[in-house]
Amino acid sequence: MHVERRFTVPRPVEEVFAYFADFTTTQEWDPGTVTTTRLAGDGGAGTTWANTSEFLGRRVELVYETVTHRPPSEVELRGRNGRTTATDHLWFEADGTGTAVRYRATFDFSFPLKVVVPLVIRRRVEALADETVEQIQRSLG
């Protein structure tokens, strides 16, 4: 299951890339994040992050790894726990006086969650994606 959004923020592409590559900023732009801390690495590929989020009243803990780090155009982070893999993939492009952002969040679940969860949470995930874009635009506005 995935959601994807495109939007523009009024900041230079290098600044926007750096903001998202530092995954601790999820505390500012991701409405579900409770806390994110860097576990190891310098922020580039291979860096790991501990993330705690709340979704539908439940706390979820994932360890993310930066899997793609291509300044200033692309960053991808993949989080895992025993039942879920969440991937945040972002692309950036200079757009006049700001930056065009393409954001794709993908969620993979283990069986039997893989069958049931998308049917139950699809609408909430779509709404959360919209909330996330609004929060990003406030944070980088």
Per-residue pLDDT band at 101 (split at 50, 70, 90): very high
Residues with Cβ within 8 Å of 26's Cβ and at least 6 positions away in sequence, in order, are 33, 36, 51
Q: What is the pTM of this model?
A: 0.89
User: What span, in angstroms and rounded, lies between the C-alpha atoms of 90 and 75?
Assistant: 5
Q: Give the Å distances, CA to CA, from 13 to 72, 75, 89, 95, 121.
A: 6, 12, 16, 8, 33
- Which residue is it, tokens 């994040």? 33
Percent of residues, the chain, with pLDDT higher than 70: 93
Q: Which residues form the domain of 18?
A: 2-140
| 101: CATH | 3.30.530.20
Amino acid making up residue 28: E
- Which residue is it, tokens 């539908």? 56
Q: How far is CA 86 from the centre of its chain?
A: 8
- Quote the number of domains for the chain: 1
Mean pLDDT check: name the lowest of 83-92, 96-105, 108-117: 108-117
